[in-house]
């Protein structure tokens, strides 16, 4: 069986360097390019990369994806910063390049994917919900992509269940004290030396609270998800948003 030809973008970063090791260790993959900031993307075409793994920066990911998609290179994307406008642009490039697949995974960790799934399930049963994400202080974006996705899923489930806006009598507050409002769900971001990637989803109702917590203690926790994405993305043309679509969770 021929090996899948894989490139890693952001190869010298915290996640990228872990992904380089994971791809090198995978028997069914060959690492053909490991690119850092400033390295020309033409290395992808020159090395015949079939799948690019993007673990760069929200400021870089769009140019990388435009390059990949327009040349039929599939992409597995962990980089954050996704908005409806960015997704619309990406969908446009994909429409013009049928057969090319892009997976955007807000989180490659199985526990994080399950947290999002369980949070969506729990959402309709509780009057109140808040998300707290906790990360290392080198993280570029806040709140995390995972927290934004979690809040969106919870908000969607609340809307589907006909739940009203949650109660909050705050009438005076310091800026930021109530977190960011993501679709009506307060999201709080903690940055603390020693942490990697963690999230709590707190639900509350009369006389009880219910908390989901996930901890990525090492970036190796993301690698099975990255490799799964690489193995599956070429058979999934168009945009796949969320690793759960490549997992049998039911
Ligand atoms: N989806 C997930 O499971 C997951 C997990 C961890 C991190 N992330 C995300 O991955 C991204 C990277 O995180 P990190 O902690 O590794 O950051 P990092 O700063 O350690 O690494 C990013 C690397 O990308 C490089 N880079 C920037 N622009 C580039 C470009 N155009 N081409 C090639 N390299 C480029 C930087 O120089 C840096 O070395 C962030 O958006 C982060 O939120 C996602
Ligand atoms: O360390 C990071 O940066 C992480 N980014 C992703 C996010 O923003 O959700 C996934 C968790 C780690």
Q: Are residues 187 and 154 in the same domain?
A: yes
What pLDDT is recorded for position 199? 98
Residue numbers of the domain that contains 177: 110-216
**Whether residue 139 lies in the annotated active site:** yes
pLDDT in tens, 101-131: 999 999 999 999 999 999 999 999 999 999 9
Q: What is the CATH number of the domain that holds 117?
A: 3.30.360.10
pTM above 0.90, yes or no: yes
- Three-state SS string over 173-186 comes to CCCCCCCEEECCEE
Considering its fold, how many domains does the chain have in total?
2
Q: Are residues 93 and 167 in the same domain?
A: no
Q: Are residues 125 and 71 in the same domain?
A: no
Q: Are residues 170 and 227 in the same domain?
A: no
pLDDT in tens, 152-185: 999 999 999 999 999 999 999 999 999 999 999 9
Q: Are strands 51-54 and 74-77 parallel, antiparallel or unpaired?
A: parallel
Atom of ligand 2 nearest to the CA of 146: 9
Q: Are residues 21 and 34 in the same domain?
A: yes
Ligand 2 interacting residues, C-beta cut-off 6 A: 80, 106-107, 135, 139, 144-146, 197
Q: Are residues 21 and 100 in the same domain?
A: yes
| DSSP sequence for 143-162 | S-HHHHHHHHHHHHHHHHTT
Cβ-based neighbour number of residue 139 at 10 Å: 17
Q: Are residues 159 and 240 in the same domain?
A: no
Residues in the chain: 250
Q: Are residues 118 and 72 in the same domain?
A: no
For residue 15, say whether it is annotated as part of any ligand binding site: yes
| DSSP sequence for 214-230 | EEE-SGGGGHHHHHHHH
**Whether residue 188 lies in the annotated active site:** no
Cβ-based neighbour number of residue 141 at 10 Å: 14
Cβ of 107 closer than 6 Å to ligand 1, yes or no, is yes
Q: Are residues 29 and 87 in the same domain?
A: yes
pLDDT at residue 1 is higher than 80:
no
Q: Are residues 165 and 227 in the same domain?
A: no
Closest by Cα among 151, 130, 153, 152 to 204: 130
Residue with CA closest to ligand 2 atom 2: 139
Q: Are strands 185-191 and 180-182 parallel, antiparallel or unpaired?
A: antiparallel
Of 3, 57, 74, 139, which is the active-site residue? 139
How distant, in Å, are the alpha carbons of 46, 64, 107, 113 from that of 149? Answer: 36, 22, 9, 10
For residue 219, say whether it is annotated as part of any ligand binding site: no
The ligand whose atoms approach the alpha carbon of 67 most closely is 1
CA 234, 24, 17 angle in degrees (round to 5)? 95
pLDDT in tens, 59-105: 999 999 999 999 999 999 999 999 999 999 999 999 999 999 999 99
Cβ of 231 closer than 6 Å to ligand 1, yes or no, is no
Q: What is the CATH number of the domain that holds 35?
A: 3.40.50.720
Of 3, 57, 135, 245, which is the active-site residue? 135
Enter the ipTM.
0.99
Give 218's DSSP letter. S
Q: Are residues 130 and 192 in the same domain?
A: yes
Q: Are residues 235 and 207 in the same domain?
A: no
């Amino acid at each position: 069986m021929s090996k899948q030809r894989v490139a890693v973008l952001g190869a010298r970063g915290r996640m990228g360097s872990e992904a380089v090791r994971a791809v090198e260790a995978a028997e069914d993959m060959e690492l053909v390019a490991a690119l850092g900031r400033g390295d020309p993307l033409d290395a992808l075409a020159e090395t015949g990369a079939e799948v690019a793994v993007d673990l760069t920066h929200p400021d870089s990911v769009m140019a990388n994806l435009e390059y990949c998609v327009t040349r039929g290179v599939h992409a597995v994307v962990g980089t954050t910063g996704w908005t409806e406008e960015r997704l619309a642009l990406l969908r446009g490039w994909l429409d013009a390049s049928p057969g090319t697949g892009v997976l955007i995974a807000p989180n490659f960790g199985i526990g994080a994917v399950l947290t999002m799934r369980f949070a969506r399930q729990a959402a309709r049963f509780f009057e109140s919900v808040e998300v707290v994400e906790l990360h290392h202080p080198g993280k570029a974006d806040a709140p995390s992509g995972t927290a934004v996705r979690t809040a969106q899923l919870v908000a969607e489930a609340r809307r589907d269940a006909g739940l009203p806006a949650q109660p909050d009598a705050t009438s005076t507050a310091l800026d930021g004290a109530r977190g960011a409002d993501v679709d009506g769900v307060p999201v709080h971001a903690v940055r603390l030396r020693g942490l990697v990637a963690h999230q709590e989803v707190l639900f509350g109702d009369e006389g009880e609270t219910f908390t989901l917590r996930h901890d990525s203690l090492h970036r190796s926790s993301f690698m099975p998800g990255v490799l799964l994405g690489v193995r599956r993305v070429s058979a999934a043309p168009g945009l796949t948003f969320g690793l759960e679509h490549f997992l049998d969770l039911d």
